Amino acid sequence: MGFFRFLDLYPPNSEIQVSFDLTVPQSSLHSLSITPKSCSYSPIIPPEIILTIMDAAYDESEPNNKAVFRNFALVCKAWSLPAQKLLFRHLILNSESDYLAFHSAVSRTRLLGDAVRSIRASLDPNQPCGLAQRDFATVVTLCPNLDRLDLSLYGSVSSGESAFDDSVIELLKSGPQISSLRFTNWSDNRHALTQLLGVWTTLKSLVIGGTPPELLLPSSRSPSPSPPSLEPFPCSLEKLGLNFQSSPSIDFFRWLLHHSSETLHTLEFEREPSSSSSPSTAASASTSQAVLHHLLHAHHTTLTTLALPSCSRATARVLEKCTNLKRFSVEDGRDLGVALSRLGGGGTLEYLGFGMDKEVGLQGVLDAVKASRDDLGCDSTSSLKEVTVNLWDGAKLHRQLPSLKMACALRGVRLEITDNVKVFRGVMRDEH
């Protein structure tokens, strides 16, 4: 048996007393070496990335946007400059205090002046502590990357005087060359616009309104009986917007658009003369319609975007020539069906916008939608992609509105419905 006991792999059990003492003796505490933890390194985000993130979050249409970015500028030094650049991107100047605040900021760092892309300013000599013309021109020169300017002019000017001093014009000429100008002239000076147009020779977009402009002919000291001539406006405009109660003359537009015969693709009328029956208003309406028809005749081959307050049957007949229209909007769509029929049921239109009340007929619009492409790949006579409707005066209860919704859904045409004319204009005219 001894042999088998030798091969026994499991020895007999025996009791072993084990105890654990987890306390550290006091004397050994001094012998423990404590190694300090290395501080974690936080990588610094490049300012370009911070600016890109803030730029994506920046929404100019948001009312609280500026307050939020003012707080961003106070977070830390790395956030301060990117946030300030966005705050200075769109500048508003209405008073002397606005000018002083901007001038003080730019004097500390020119980077803020470099950040300005657009300026909206108003000049009113009758306003206490208003923005002076020379201060406005100084601000323009401090913004080398300025691209868009929205300027409103108020007040009265003595007969024979210029709206802008020669020194102001020369100062503006020393500044950046902008591509977009919106000028609203509420003063009684009809030559202010031609003065400003002599400053910028790189304009692509021009929106004008208020007092109808007149050409400022150069003075002539020669004894020649022929009147002095004015060189045509040198810019090749791509967009022209008009907002006049009384339209400028056709001769003015011939001068203005002399070099735009092959470039003008957007024409927007923001308002039309009042429907008053007074002889002066009737004459103004007739002149405005004549100007509209002249512009459509002269630029029908290049126009791709047209926005009108309304569309009469006479205007609809002229639209037949505009065979390249892609975006067409009418704020009062009562005669829209006639216009669409003249455009061949939609033709090349991709975006259609119109305003409607409860009495507007929608059959012309329905026909244009039904003629557009569908999911079955059938042949279509229209390239319509989107319809935007502005509802007013009970139009929500229009009996044909459900039919329009159904037709757009079946044909894959996007339908946007609003009851806010500002939203409607923003969508159709790409305004912000």
Same domain, 187 and 81: no
The reply to whether 134 and 165 lie within a common domain is yes
Both 179 and 105 in one domain: the answer is: yes
User: 351, 327 in Cβ contact below 8 A?
Assistant: yes
Neighbours of 152 (CB within 10 A): 18
Element (H, E) at 329: strand 327-332
Q: Is the same domain home to 143 and 173?
A: yes
Closest CA to 152 of 204, 98, 205, 92: 92
Do residues 75 and 111 both lie within one domain? no
Count how many domains the chain has. Answer: 2
**Cα separation of 193 and 255, whole Å?**
13
What per-residue confidence (pLDDT) applies to 69?
A: 66
| pLDDT of 50 | 75
Q: Tell me the C-alpha distance between 393 and 391, whole Å.
A: 7
| 1 lies in some domain | no
pLDDT of residue 374: 52
Assigned domain for 392 exists: no
DSSP secondary structure code for residue 29 in this structure: G
Of the candidates 203, 220, 250, which is a domain's last residue?
203
Which two tokens mark 330? Answer: 């009418």
Distance CA 365, CA 386 (A): 12
Query: What is the pLDDT at residue 111?
Result: 86
| Residue 215 domain flag | no
Residues 139, 189 share a domain: yes
User: Do 171 and 81 share a domain, yes or no?
Assistant: no
- Whole-number Å distance between alpha carbons of 53 and 85: 13
- 132 and 65 assigned to the same domain: no
Torsional sign, CA 176, 177, 181, 184: positive
135 inside domain: yes
**Does residue 193 form part of some domain?**
yes
- Tell me, yes or no, whether 124 and 165 share the same domain: yes
Nearest to 295 by CA among 264, 271, 316, 326: 264
Give the pLDDT of residue 4. 44
Is 60 within the bounds of a domain? yes
Task: Give the other-Cβ count within 10 Å of 39's Cβ.
Answer: 6
Asked if residues 141 and 178 have their Cβ atoms less than 8 Å apart, the reply is no
pTM across the whole model: 0.81
Q: Which domain holds residue 183?
A: 89-203
Instruction: Give the pLDDT of residue 162.
Output: 84
Quote the distance between the C-alpha of residue 247 and its chain's center: 24
Mean pLDDT for back-to-back runs of 10 residues, the chain (432 residues): 46 52 54 55 72 72 66 68 78 95 89 92 93 97 97 80 91 96 95 94 96 77 54 96 92 96 95 53 67 95 95 90 93 90 76 93 92 57 86 90 95 94 86 48
Task: Say if 406 falls within a structural domain.
Answer: no
Helices (H), 88-151: 96-108, 111-115, 133-141
In terms of Cβ atoms closer than 10 Å to its own Cβ (0-12, 13-18, 19+), residue 205 is middle
pLDDT of residue 6: 41
Task: State whether 105 and 186 are in the same domain.
Answer: yes
Last residue of a domain, which of 177, 203, 229? 203
> Does residue 83 sit in the same domain as residue 94?
no
Q: Are residues 145 and 64 in the same domain?
A: no
318, 293 Cβ separation under 8 angstroms: yes
pLDDT of 393 reads 86
Which of 203, 237, 255 terminates a domain? The answer is 203
Q: Is 159 within a domain?
A: yes
Measured CA to CA, the distance from residue 326 to residue 260 in angstroms comes to: 19
pLDDT of residue 210: 95
User: Quick one: pLDDT at residue 17?
Assistant: 56
What is the structure's pLDDT at 275?
Answer: 43
